[in-house]
Amino acid sequence: MTTVSDETSNVVPAEPEPDGAPEAALTDADGNAVTPAGSETPDTADGDTSGGTESVVADAEDTDPENTDPANTGADDTDADDPDADDTDEPDRVNADIAVDDPAADDPSDTDDPSATDDPPETVDTETADVESGTVESGTVESGDVGQGDVEHGDVSAEDPADTDDHAPEDNTSDHNAPEDNASEDSAPVDSAYDDSAYDDTSALPAVAATQLDPDDDSWWKSAIFYQIYPRSFSDLNGDGVGDLAGVIDKLGYLELLGVDAIWLSPIMRSPMADHGYDVSDPRDIDPLFGDLALFDELVTEAHDRDIRVTMDLVPNHSSDQHPWFVAALASEPGSPERARYIFRDGRGEDGDEPPNNWVSVFGGPAWTRVPDPDGTPGQWYLHIFAAEQPDLNWENPEVFDDLATTLRFWLDRGVDGFRIDVAHGMAKPEDLPDMDLESVGLLENRDDDPRFNNYAVHDIHRKIRTVLDEYPGAANVGEIWVEDNERFAEYLRPDELHLGFNFRLAKAEFDPESIRAAIENSLDAVLSVGGTPTWTLSNHDVDREVTRYGRIAAAPDVDVDLGILRARAMLLVELALPGTIFIYNGAELGLPNADLADDVLQDPVWERSGHTERGRDGCRVPLPWEGFEPPFGFSTSADTWLPIPESWVRFTVEAQLEDVGSTLSLYRQAIEMRYDRPEFDGDTVEWYGAPEGCLAFRRSAGHLICALNTSDVPVPLPPGEILLTSYPLMDGQLAPNSAAWLA
């Protein structure tokens, strides 16, 4: 990384242009000043700030004017093929599918939406926009019907061998509206009576072996934009208040419009849901809460048809306590092969009544639980770095990797394009299990010297995982690595280990130039030492949303959401200006803050295990608002969603932002498109410039894109150059406070 200059200047500098500074350009391509949806800031540059009402997303509109298609496909494809499809009226949904010249749009059988007689506040009509060419202002979409339609490959028929899987849902059809096992609010507990021999059944393979989206492209992940879907909170199509795979399929058109390369699904495998899916009881099946294997195969097929890759969460550090292996371990004697798959130890103390060491759970409380021996007497202790329902696997046992390899191939053979590996730095444990420094770490965190994590033996595990992925060209994995030391972090990204490593430095940085620059420099230095690819994210399901973090002001009791939105928009431009791979958490593109939830609705195990001292992560996991004027905002037909959606989120719905060129959603779409299309984004490193106080500026090494950020409370001059995009309109030709700009 080359530093061009660190001298302080009075402007955010760039290389001088012969003709001097250009005229001020605003976010709107038409030259209109635009205001971020929902934000309130000082007066901006003179002129019309309405942004106009012309649609920038016309190709995303529902061509069914009555919108009576309950599956929200944008066409009546499902009805045409399925005589049992539900044609009853449901509340309108924002149709994310992009249907062009769809004859189903004029279906005379469609009935009026009963809600149409209501008199809602005046909004832009998002139901009748014509689509003439499939090209939108900030994204180009191929014309043609891209509703759910027929599956061209990977389709699982009623006679699919998946139906013979002992643990698969009995009904393996792909009816989006009513997966048979999805009626309950939570997943039914796994039957703990079945023996672990049944777990070896892996016959539930697709009728036609699928492949990755493009097996010839083995480097797509180096500049990809991943969109993390927290399935419980993305879209619920069966009306039980919990998001599902049918809901994801329903919104693939929205994701295509957004412009992402890949989706990352948080856990959808079978689970008792003690930790919302991160306690897996069968890693080779879909939990009925979300759907079934046939529906998953349909998701992969339809995502691939839209050039969107599908990656899955993998949880190899631990299993559920209802996994057949652990059930067998509890029924077996100490020292048995069944117990050797987990970390069982005799206790300390006179009668073994003290834990084997002093380790604590990441969620709070002890990391050990004592269990009775088969004869009922007090017995050994088992290790669980997380909840007691998540016993840690013993990765020194070769059976553990062999089983994981089977799981990897199971999903890769279904066309999955890769995996996000949960707790990728935590699988290996030191042989002597030394005590830890209890004062050095808090809940939901670890340090580099924490003996629970980052032990060197973990790298052998990742090398074995990589050998399996290398059998599938076009597949890639990314590890969740909470490691601060650059040298130790880089070890995970050696050519025979992980393709990518999650780096959280930018998400942890304060909104000030020094903190942001340090995060960027550290992140680049860490990966470039091994020829790796940097990753960037501002939020995920485990950390507060960026709007909430940036909206906190010292000594202020409440979060300033409007300020947080401005700063989050600015940081989006910083993030997308950087070389490498981007991860967007669902809802970030809407400018969502954390939700302020009442104590009695909290579900994160951290809340209970901390003795109600830590509220946990539920605030950043609330379901997304899609449309309408009151909860559940089109997320579900049930008002009883698994976490309540705040009424104040009416301003954040997709419907409210879809045609507003000044909205956060529009900014995301425009920025993502530019990142793909403009040559200025070339280069693997950045060059730093001097900048006014409270500002920073850097340039991409090859394409020479300039990103300027103003974290101060006063406008600052911009350098010469063509303004490509601003996160907020200029103020008298200057970069506004709490905003960023791209220049060429």
Give the torsion sign (CA, 66, 68, 70, 72): negative
Among the listed residues 657, 664, 585, the one whose alpha carbon sits nearest the alpha carbon of residue 263: 585
Predicted local distance difference test score (pLDDT) of residue 198? 55
Catalytic residue among 333, 471, 487, 693: 471
Q: What is the pLDDT of residues 148-193, one digit of tens each?
A: 333 333 333 333 333 334 333 334 333 444 333 433 334 334 444 3
Q: What is the spatial distance between Cα 456 and Cα 346, in angstroms, rounded to a whole number?
A: 25
Structure tokens at 421: 């590996």
Euclidean distance between CA atoms 587 and 197, whole angstroms? 42
- pLDDT < 50 positions in the chain: 1-194
Separation CA 657–CA 726 (nearest Å)? 18
Query: In whole angstroms, what is the distance from residue 416 CA to residue 278 CA?
Result: 19
**pLDDT score at 442:** 63
Quickly list DSSP for 621-677: -PPPP-SSSSTTTTS-S-S--SSPPPGGGGGG-HHHHTT-TTSHHHHHHHHHHHHHH
Count Cβ atoms below 10 Å from residue 699 Cβ, excluding itself.
25
**132 carries an active-site annotation:** no
Return phi, psi of residue 60, to 5°: -95, 0
Amino acid 200: pLDDT = 61
Question: How far is residue 541's CA from residue 649's CA, in Å, rounded to a whole number?
Answer: 18
Q: Which residue's structure tokens are 């793909």?
A: 676
Q: Which entry of 69, 282, 422, 627 is annotated as an active-site residue?
A: 422
Residue 33 · residue 740 · CB < 8 Å? no
Q: Say how many CA atoms lie within 13 Å of 114 toward its Cβ.
A: 4
- Which domains are seen in the chain, by residue range? 221-314 (3.30.750.90), 324-383 (3.90.400.10)
Query: What span, in angstroms and rounded, lies between the C-alpha atoms of 270 and 250?
Result: 22
Is the Cβ–Cβ distance between 501 and 479 less than 8 Å?
A: yes
Predicted local confidence at residue 542, as pLDDT: 87
DSSP state letter for 407? H
Q: What is the amino acid identity at position 320?
A: S
The pLDDT value given to residue 529: 86
Q: What is the pTM of this model?
A: 0.75
Length of the chain: 744
CA gap 396, 543 in Å, rounded: 31
First CA to last CA distance, the chain: 20
Residue 413, phi then psi, degrees to nearest 5: -70, -15
Residue 439 pLDDT: 80
In the residue annotation, 471 being an active-site residue is answered as yes
| Residue 736 per-residue DSSP state | P
